[in-house]
Every structure is written in structure tokens, then in C-alpha cells.
């Protein structure tokens, strides 16, 4: 049984079993609104990332019990919850804060995430801000997913699940993504929805730094401008259309030491705080995303929410609107953990999930190779290295060898899940795609030793290693870094080695990376300076598949549970 708290600022409800809402045994009776006050219910999600099936979630509530791992989410469970809530309020509005797709499990990514878009439509999603992952395959693919059609840079995946693909019925929003030619937003800046006779203006935006997280070629000609300025510019136009209630859907987030369901959290930090503080005072609700952290916080009197990621949690938000003045009187929220079986089944979502599973099963279950261990973990050690990073960089280096590659780098963000196996430690296509879902192509280039040093120092620019993670490096390449040193001098110069020999500043080295990094992605501009580039047209997932297959054939299955000590963090004496 999952216990959740009640919203502190909500109109006082009456409970049949005390001060804590127990989903399986309590009934919530809502008193009639005060005269002139209309209550509107919003349900929000963010960072769904194509998780149409339930997955593991660490439940750590502010309201009792030790942290524990549960199974949560899945479109069948979300559909069941929404079906139940809409029986109480048919005008409930479901909205999102970006990254609905991208970095998705194979059951969605193998079909260009079209099943996830369709699932969002079945759930009744009205609108969502874009996230940085909506740009993973570039603006052309984002517009195709919105409008439909089969003209896609991912021709091997697009329209393979449904042909023709009809596009999303919900609307993506992006007030701060400007087409440099038209000088207008690439997508609508806002959408007006109406519930219980009240017009609500949903304004969408994505983090300004999305340029660091999407391939440069895919977002060419787009300008990602200041989030708060772009949002504030929409209010005069919305007011002209009779809108007095404004809700921001923004794919930017923060972190807090408070639990995901803690009411009135006041410890929120991160980029979202600065954005919220600069918003027009009329905006009193900000639905955020990106940081994969659930919270219900107050910033300068405004409610700022996030509902975790992967569909594990939905945020339920109540807007109390004064209809006489057309203003928001109060706003409150609570978190709902999506535990399967909590609500009566939704036949439509159950049937759709079964269809996707049946269509995907044979391809995803195909065995690839045996590993040396049951699972290769993605979790980074204190030094910044991960066992999965070691494996993927070695596979990347092997694929780049025919082009002269000596060193491989892989960004931590491209590794999404532990590489798990089945019987006999055999890994399947689906398990590979879950760990490495982007299917980026590999690029080989020349970098001088001095450029490699600068590249490594860029890992700590702006303190972003905390969220971005250090680059993973291939076998034979190693270095030590000192966290006490200042920015620009963290790597110990005499520890930078390749196959036991020091990296020389003037020597040219052949480096292989994915195309996202090659274009300066993840804020690594040093890669854009690489000379004598070779576009291999080898996908990273194919490189990993071939590497694992060959290692098994040689009688030396790949993969380890522990890291190999390629990156070392200098410990304080």
C-alpha cells in the first residue's frame, strides 16, 4: 500500500481514515467550492522517455517507511489512474513538461518512438513542452512526430509500426525555440485549454542549454533564447484572448534535499529557480522537468512541481480560480505513485500495450552474445568511471580501428540503463538497446595531445560534471584528476597516458566518438576542432553488437561488473 500526503494548501478535504490518504482503502470527499471559486484538476508528467512498460522505482516518501524498490508506471497503469480520476472530474487536463520520447527503451525506440506518441494520445494528453530529447533526431524528425508522415532521418524505424504515421494529437509547445529565418517559434508558444468554463493558458519552453544536448546539425537554424523572457512575452497575447490563469510547462529543473512528495518544499536549487524568479507575477504554477527529481516546492510564493521520470509518478494539481476576477486564487498539488493494480484496468491502454509488446517481442528477444557477467552496471564510481562505459568505449574503439583510431570517448548521457542479461548471461537485442538507445553513428578524427588535455578539462566547466558525468574512455587511455584543483587544471599533467606512454601536446592522435560528441554536444567544443574526419557510418549499437559477438567467438566474453581504473580521482591525504 502506498501512502501519500494531502496537499497542505488545498481546500480542506474530509477523509474516512484519518490524515493520510491510503489509496486502497480511503475515500476522498471534496467539499463544494466556495461561491465564485471553481476548482480545476491538472495531472502532469515529465521525462517519460518512452517507458510504456512499468519499471523499477525507488520509493522514498516523506510520510513513513524506509526507501524500497517497487515496480511502477507503464501506460496501462497511467491509463487506469486517469480513467478513475476522470470519473470524478471529466474535465481533468493532462499536460507534460518534455522528454516524452528519446533515450527510450527498445520497445519504443525501435519504432522511432511512435508507440509512445500514440500512447500519449490514448491517455488524453493535451499539450507538452518540448524537451531536449525531442531534438535527438533533429527538427525535421520532431516536426514529423508532431504532424505525421514518413519523411524521416530514421527511415529504418519511421512508419514501421504504423504506416502512414498520423502524428501527435497533442500539441508540443516551445516559446523559446525560434526559427532564425521566420523569427517565430518553431512550434506554438502556448495552447489555451478550457475546463469548467475557465480558460487556462499553457506556455511551453525548453532549457536554453538544449543546444549542448542535441546534435548541432539537427538544430541548425534554431535559436534557443532565454526561457523567462520568452514565457513572459506570451502573457499580453493570452490576456487579449480572455485568459487570466497561466501555467508554465518548462523542460528545466532543479534538485532538493526534500522527498519527492514533501509538501511546501523550500530547498529547491538549480537553474529552474532563476527562471521562476524572473517570471511575471501572474504566473503562479510552474510544471518543470529535465532533472528527473520529484518535488513540490515553493519559490517566491509560486508552486514548482516535477513528477520524477519514466511514468513512475504523476503530479495531481488543483487550481482554485476566482471566476469573477478570472484569477488564480490558490494552487496545491500531491504526488501519486503509479503502482500497477491500484485502479481498475483501462481496457484500451491494456490492449494497446499488448499490441506493442506482441509486435516487438520477436525482434527484441533475439539473442546477441554471452557476457562474462550477468549485468554490466551503468552507475559511475567516485572517480567518474563506469563498467558500462568501459565496455562501450572498448567496442567503439574496436569499430574505429580500421580508420586508425587509438582512443575512444563516450559521453555518459548516451548510456541509459545497466546492460542486463538473461539465461546463461546472454544479452538480447532489447537489452542492448535499453543500455545504448540512441543509435548514433561513429566519427573518427585527429586531435593533438594539447587538444585532448583541453577536452578533458572541459568536463568540469561550470561545475557540470555533477549532472553530466565525465567522459568514459577506452582501454589503454588513463589519467588522474584532482577535485581540489581549480577549473582548467584538474587533470594531473604527468598522468595522461596512452598504452603506457605519456600523451604529448604536439603529437596527433586518432580519436573515435559518436556523432553527437563530434559536433560539440554535451558542451565539449574541443571535438569540433578535430581534423581529417572520417564518417564511418557505423552505428554505436552495431559496434557494440559486433564487439560482443567477436569476444564470445574468441572464447573471451566481454563485460565486467567492476571498473578498470582508467580514470582515477586523487584522494585527499
Check if the beta carbon of residue 223 is closer than 8 Å to that of residue 182: no
Cell numbers describing residue 456: 578533458
Beta strands in 507-559 (DSSP E): 508-514, 531-539
- Of 531, 119, 173, residue with least CA distance to 348: 119
- Distances from the Cα of 168 to the Cαs of 89, 120, 198, in angstroms? 24, 8, 25
Residues 369, 424: Cα–Cα separation, whole Å: 10
Residues 406, 25: Cα–Cα separation, whole Å: 62
Per-residue pLDDT in tens (0 to 9) along the chain, 573 residues: 343 433 333 332 333 333 333 333 333 335 555 778 999 999 999 999 999 999 989 999 999 889 999 999 999 999 999 999 999 999 999 999 999 999 898 899 999 999 999 999 999 999 999 999 999 999 999 999 999 999 999 998 999 999 999 999 999 999 999 999 999 999 999 999 999 999 999 999 999 999 988 888 899 999 999 999 999 999 999 999 999 999 999 999 999 999 999 999 999 999 999 999 999 999 999 999 999 999 999 999 999 999 999 999 999 999 999 999 999 999 999 999 999 999 999 999 999 999 999 999 998 999 999 999 999 999 999 999 999 999 999 999 999 999 999 999 999 999 999 999 999 999 999 999 999 998 899 999 999 999 999 999 999 987 654 456 899 999 999 999 999 999 999 999 999 999 999 999 999 999 999 999 999 998 899 999 999 999 998 999 999 999 999 999 999 999 999 999 999 999 866
Check if the beta carbon of residue 143 is closer than 8 Å to that of residue 135: no
Residues 445, 95: Cα–Cα separation, whole Å: 43
- Distances from the Cα of 367 to the Cαs of 187, 398, 439, 549, in angstroms? 41, 21, 18, 10
CA torsion, ordered 384, 388, 389, 390, to nearest 10 deg: 100
Check if the beta carbon of residue 43 is closer than 8 Å to that of residue 92: yes
Non-local CB neighbours of 502 within 8 Å, separated by 6+ positions: 494, 496
CA torsion, ordered 439, 443, 447, 449, to nearest 10 deg: 40
The gap from C-alpha 542 to its chain's centroid, in whole angstroms, comes to 23
Q: Which helix (H) or strand (E) holds 42?
A: strand 37-45
Question: Which residues of the chain are in CATH 3.90.780.10 domains?
Answer: 366-569
pTM: 0.83
Question: If DSSP codes are grouped into helix, strand and coil, which group holds residue 200?
Answer: strand
Residues 531, 508: Cα–Cα separation, whole Å: 10
Check if the beta carbon of residue 187 is closer than 8 Å to that of residue 172: yes
Residues 573, 562: Cα–Cα separation, whole Å: 25
Residues 565, 555: Cα–Cα separation, whole Å: 24
Pairing status of strand 68-72 against strand 55-59: antiparallel
Q: Residue 184 class from Cβ within 10 Å (0-12 exposed, 13-18 middle, 19+ buried)? A: exposed
Query: What is the DSSP secondary structure assignment for residue 325, as one 8-state letter?
Result: T
Q: Residue 151 class from Cβ within 10 Å (0-12 exposed, 13-18 middle, 19+ buried)? A: exposed
Query: Which residue has 552507475 as its cell numbers?
Result: 379
Cell numbers describing residue 92: 481533468
Q: Is the dihedral of CA 290, 291, 292, 297 positive or negative?
A: negative
Task: Give the CATH fold of the 38-357 domain.
Answer: Purple Acid Phosphatase; chain A, domain 2 (3.60.21)
The count of C-alpha atoms lying within 13 angstroms of the C-alpha of 358, restricted to the half-sphere facing its C-beta, is: 6
Question: Which residues of the chain are in CATH 3.60.21.10 domains?
Answer: 38-357
| CATH code of the domain made up of 366-569 | 3.90.780.10
Amino acid at each position: 500500500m502506498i501512502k501519500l500526503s494531502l496537499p497542505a494548501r488545498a481546500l480542506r478535504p474530509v477523509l474516512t481514515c484519518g490524515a493520510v490518504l491510503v489509496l486502497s482503502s480511503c475515500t476522498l470527499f471534496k467539499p463544494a467550492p466556495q461561491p465564485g471559486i471553481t476548482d480545476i484538476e491538472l495531472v502532469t508528467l515529465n521525462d517519460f522517455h518512452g517507458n510504456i512498460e512499468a519499471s523499477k522505482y525507488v520509493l522514498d516518501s516523506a510520510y513513513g517507511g524506509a526507501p524500497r524498490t517497487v515496480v511502477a508506471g507503464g501506460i496501462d497503469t497511467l491509463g487506469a489512474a486517469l480513467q478513475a480520476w476522470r470519473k470524478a472530474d471529466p474535465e481533468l487536463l493532462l499536460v507534460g513538461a518534455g522528454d516524452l520520447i528519446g533515450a527510450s527503451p527498445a520497445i519504443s525506440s525501435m519504432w522511432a518512438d511512435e508507440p509512445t506518441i500514440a500512447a500519449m494520445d490514448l491517455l488524453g494528453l493535451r499539450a507538452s513542452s518540448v524537451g531536449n530529447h525531442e531534438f535527438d533526431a533533429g527538427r525535421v524528425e520532431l516536426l514529423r512526430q508532431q504532424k505525421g508522415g514518413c519523411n524521416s532521418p530514421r527511415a529504418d524505424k519511421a512508419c514501421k509500426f504504423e504506416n502512414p504515421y498520423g502524428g501527435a494529437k497533442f500539441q508540443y509547445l516551445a516559446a523559446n525555440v525560434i526559427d532564425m529565418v521566420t523569427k517565430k517559434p518553431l512550434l506554438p508558444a502556448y495552447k489555451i485549454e478550457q475546463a469548467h468554463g475557465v480558460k487556462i493558458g499553457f506556455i511551453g519552453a525548453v532549457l536554453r542549454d538544449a543546444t549542448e544536448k542535441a546534435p548541432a546539425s539537427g538544430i541548425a537554424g534554431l535559436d534557443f533564447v532565454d526561457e523567462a523572457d520568452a514565457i513572459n512575452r506570451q502573457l499580453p497575447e493570452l490576456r487579449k484572448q480572455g485568459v487570466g490563469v497561466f501555467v508554465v510547462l518548462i523542460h528545466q529543473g532543479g534538485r532538493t534535499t526534500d522527498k519527492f512528495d514533501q509538501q511546501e518544499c523550500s530547498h529547491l536549487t538549480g537553474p529552474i529557480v532563476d527562471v521562476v524568479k524572473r517570471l511575471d507575477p501572474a504566473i503562479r504554477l510552474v510544471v518543470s522537468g529535465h532533472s528527473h527529481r520529484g518535488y513540490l516546492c515553493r519559490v517566491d510564493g509560486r508552486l514548482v512541481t516535477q513528477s520524477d521520470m519514466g511514468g513512475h509518478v504523476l503530479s495531481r494539481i488543483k487550481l482554485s480560480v476566482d471566476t469573477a476576477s478570472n484569477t488564480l486564487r490558490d494552487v496545491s498539488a500531491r504526488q501519486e505513485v503509479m503502482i500497477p493494480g491500484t485502479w481498475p484496468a483501462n481496457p484500451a491502454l491494456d490492449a494497446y500495450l499488448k499490441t506493442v509488446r506482441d509486435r516487438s517481442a520477436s525482434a527484441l528477444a533475439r539473442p546477441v552474445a554471452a557476457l562474462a557477467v550477468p549485468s554490466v552496471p551503468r552507475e559511475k564510481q567516485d572517480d567518474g568511471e563506469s563498467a558500462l562505459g568501459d565496455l562501450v568505449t572498448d567496442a567503439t574503439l574496436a569499430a574505429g580501428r580500421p580508420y586508425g583510431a587509438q582512443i575512444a570517448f563516450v559521453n555518459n548521457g548516451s548510456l541509459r540503463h545497466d546492460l542486463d542479461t538473461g539465461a546463461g548471461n546472454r544479452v538480447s537485442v532489447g537489452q542492448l538497446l535499453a543500455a545504448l538507445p540512441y543509435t548514433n553513428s561513429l566519427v573518427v578524427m585527429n586531435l593533438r595531445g594539447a587538444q585532448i588535455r583541453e577536452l578533458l578539462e572541459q568536463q568540469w566547466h561550470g561545475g557540470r560534471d555533477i549532472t553530466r558525468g565525465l567522459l568514459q574512455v577506452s582501454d589503454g587511455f588513463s589519467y588522474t584528476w584532482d577535485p581540489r584543483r581549480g577549473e582548467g587544471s584538474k587533470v594531473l599533467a604527468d598522468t595522461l597516458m596512452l598504452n603506457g606512454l605519456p600523451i604529448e601536446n604536439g603529437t596527433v592522435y586518432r580519436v573515435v566518438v559518436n556523432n553527437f560528441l563530434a559536433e560539440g554536444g554535451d558542451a565539449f567544443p574541443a571535438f569540433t576542432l578535430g581534423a581529417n574526419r572520417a564518417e564511418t557510418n557505423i552505428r554505436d549499437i552495431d559496434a557494440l553488437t559486433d564487439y560482443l559477438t567477436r569476444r564470445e567467438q574468441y572464447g573471451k566474453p566481454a563485460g565486467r561488473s567492476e571498473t578498470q581504473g582508467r580514470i582515477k580521482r586523487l584522494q585527499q591525504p
